[in-house]
Chain A
Amino acid sequence: MIEALTRGIKLGGITNSLAKAKIAEIKSSANFCVPLKSGAGSESKPLVIVGDLIKRGTVIGAPSDETSGFVYSPCSGAVVSIKDKVNSLGENCLNVEIEPAHKDSLLYFRPLENRDNNNLFGRLIESGSFDNWGKRYPSYHKYINPNTIGARTLIVKLFDSDPYCVSNLKIAEDYAKEVALGALCYFKVSVAVKLIFVGSKAVSKSTNQKIYDAILDEINKSDMKTNQVSFVTVSKVYPNDEDHLLTKKVLKKTIAVSVPVSDKGVFIENAQTCLNFYRAVYDNLPTTEAVYTIAGNNLKNQGVYLVKNGLVPQNVFASVDIKNKELFKQYSIGGTFNGISQCDTSVGLPLSVSTLFSNKWNDENFKERDCINCGRCNARCPIKLSPMMIDNFAINKDFARAKRYGVLSCIDCGVCSYVCPAKRHLSQRISDTAQAIKQRRTM
């Protein structure tokens, strides 16, 4: 009953099978297909040509503008091709295909002379650890945005609210020390006055306590004041980890969804980005891999895996074993509820996401019916939109009313589509309408 009154989705017990999983590595000798664009930002410029012999960590893509970033080779080998191909977002971009060599050799960054703000910021940019999956600009740009107002706070997420994803939790469990040091680097870069680590009530109190104790140990060794650090746990409701909702829950601060939280002095990182930053600063390693949760009821070996940039899903699925190949028709990259569903298993996996998901495909479950006006989408929308009304406006191309009903504030969480008993593709149409309004064009 309480669940019915909760906004968002509360799914219990799903992560239980993943709770005991350890971070494993997917070994593949197949070619890598590294996309030079993996998010909403611009495409990076290729710095290699076909036939080049490169090491792991060689720069293969450089930023073309402030919304793109550095891309590093995930392995040693030879560049086989550079061709225009669809990426995980379904957009065309240049993909660098690399044939891995038998022996992997690493190319490191030069060590930092000192870890002051400027040096750390420079390392953050060149690390390639930021993601440009975000809607507006890559995560490093927020730290130098002149429009930022208010006292600065850094929030580090140690969880994922997606019930099928445990990547950040596993990183926090296994690399608490590194995450703490990475967070301290971000703390310096952001010039924040407060650092808040956020855990989830989805895991036991003892697990959270263990993580916090390990983090606190590292913080105490630094020159940071203890009253600047705090720990918070939030309930296990999807999508609690969305920036604006998290800010509301942790800081009790309401920021309009159309405004990035960083504009109001709230910077949000997660365990993965902190670990990447730590490696770039302390180990001088460029970011070439990410921790993925690979889950779904059609996979035999669900778990948490270290996935290299540009690894091809068909190799990943070969490693984790598909239970029923007949029912494997699509998979999702980047979140179960708001990820991108794909059929093509030859796209390169990006570093900016943390979930790969494949359930047994049931066509019936995705067949749209007429809306029955049940209002569940309204009741569950975490930002109190009226998806059924907006969907109606979207179908009638009534963009003015869609805008008045807050279509531009949609956070693309996919809760409305999940709960809809008529299986309507609400989030997809709402997202398309928002895009159309933004681009000032008619659909």
Chain B
Amino acid sequence: MNQFKVTHSPFVKSANSVNFIKEQKLIMLIMVFVVGLVMTNWQALYILGIALASALVFELLYNIVCYEKIRVDFLEVLICSITFTCLVGYKTPLYVPVIAMAFSIIVCKMVFGKNENHIVNASAGGALFVGIIFSQGANLFVRVSGSGFMRNPYGALLENNIADFNIIRCLKGQISASIGCVCLAVVAVALIYLIATHSVGIKIPIIAVVSFVLMTFAINQFNYEYILPYLFSGNFLFVTTFMLTEFSTSPNTTLGQFIYAIIFGVGASLIIKYSGGGDMAILALLVCVNCLSPLLDRVIRPHYFGEGANE
């Protein structure tokens, strides 16, 4: 007590910490993955194992080579690898996660920003990268369903047969989709949980979903029957819950968050409508809006209380 020390930082701190936020996100991701595993095939475990091992190795190697430190942010690596696994189908060849994680960790996470400060969502970057190099020359923004490992669940939509869309099947996970997106009811529960525990912000997911719904309604001759198939198909909801809301890749200002979420919501709806959109297209859109985020932070400066008033 004799050592004198003075600081005017608050003496109390909120209980919410970075680790808490990451742990909540991880728990929800594990829940979504386990449900996906049960609904699809146990082979998904291989993909996760390889993705996780690759991510660990690449992060460790990068830190040793560049900083001469043996250090790994285990929570981040877990989140990144599980997110990637949730984005692909269970039939994905086992070399794909290795390439994806190399790109995710080294390029998206470490070279362009480091931990907590990267510009593009690492999992989205990795998944998009492997999507491009293994797309067999197919245009990314057209229908990618079929034999590819990046499986598209828009069956009913692609055939332009709305009557075939069954919301109950979709909620139960009886659809053809990537591992994390087979049961969207679980994803919706995860979103609600993450918002309730303040692990993600409320503005971005809500605005993204609302703008997506409104846009879908508008571009389909105000036919409400299209809304649910659009919303519950593919990985829009998964991306919105776990990737769009990532703090480091989303804007900090309220206005910035509005613009960011609206662009994503409207864009996702348009992609589905006019390009037959699939998982890859949504990921590409996510990467684009991620890149917009630093610009929004730079351009938008909030007006503070009393700015310019009576000075």
**Given B21, B198, B301, B310, which contacts A264 in the complex, CB threshold below 8 Å?**
B310
With known contacts A341-B6, A343-B1, A419–B201 Cβ distance under 8 A = no
A389 interface residue (CB < 8 Å to B)? yes
B66 interface residue (CB < 8 Å to A)? no
Binds A, one of B177-185, B211-219, B247-255, B283-291: B247-255
B3 interface residue (CB < 8 Å to A)? yes
**Given A259, A366, A375, which contacts B201 in the complex, CB threshold below 8 Å?**
A375
Binds B, one of A47-55, A118-126, A331-339: A331-339
A369 interface residue (CB < 8 Å to B)? yes
A46 interface residue (CB < 8 Å to B)? no
For residue B196, which residue of chain A has the nearest CB? A1
For residue A429, which residue of chain B has the nearest CB? B9
For residue A247, which residue of chain B has the nearest CB? B306
Q: Secondary structure of the B side of the interface?
A: loop
Task: Provide the residues of chain B in CB contact with A385, threshold 8 Å.
Answer: 302, 304
- Within the assembled complex, what's the spacing in Å between the Cα atoms of A418 and B8? 12
The interface bits of chain B over 277-311 (1 if a CB of A lies within 8 angstroms of the residue's CB, else 0) are 00000000000000000000100011111111111
Contacting pair A259 B311 (CB below 8 A): yes
Task: Provide the residues of chain A in CB contact with B16, threshold 8 Å.
Answer: 419, 421
Interface centre among A345, A359, A378, by most B CB within 10 Å? A378
For residue B198, which residue of chain A has the nearest CB? A4
A323 interface residue (CB < 8 Å to B)? no
Give the distance to chain B from A116, nearest Cβ to Cβ, in Å: 32
Contacting pair B116 A370 (CB below 8 A): yes
Please, how many residues of chain B have a CB less than 8 angstroms from a CB on the other chain? 45
Contacting pair A378 B12 (CB below 8 A): no
**Given A332, A336, A338, A373, which contacts B248 in the complex, CB threshold below 8 Å?**
A373
Contacting pair A384 B302 (CB below 8 A): yes
Binds B, one of A33-41, A196-204, A299-307, A404-412: A404-412
Contacting pair A412 B301 (CB below 8 A): no
For residue A164, which residue of chain B has the nearest CB? B12
Contacting pair B13 A428 (CB below 8 A): no
A255 interface residue (CB < 8 Å to B)? yes
For residue A4, which residue of chain B has the nearest CB? B202
Contacting pair A418 B116 (CB below 8 A): no
- Within the assembled complex, what's the spacing in Å between the Cα atoms of A367 and B186? 35
- Among A402-443, those with CB < 8 Å from B are 404-406, 409, 412, 414, 417-423, 425, 427-428, 431
**Given B4, B201, B202, B254, which contacts A374 in the complex, CB threshold below 8 Å?**
B201
The 8 closest A-B pairs by CB, nearest first: A90-B6, A383-B305, A332-B11, A256-B306, A414-B10, A375-B252, A406-B304, A374-B247
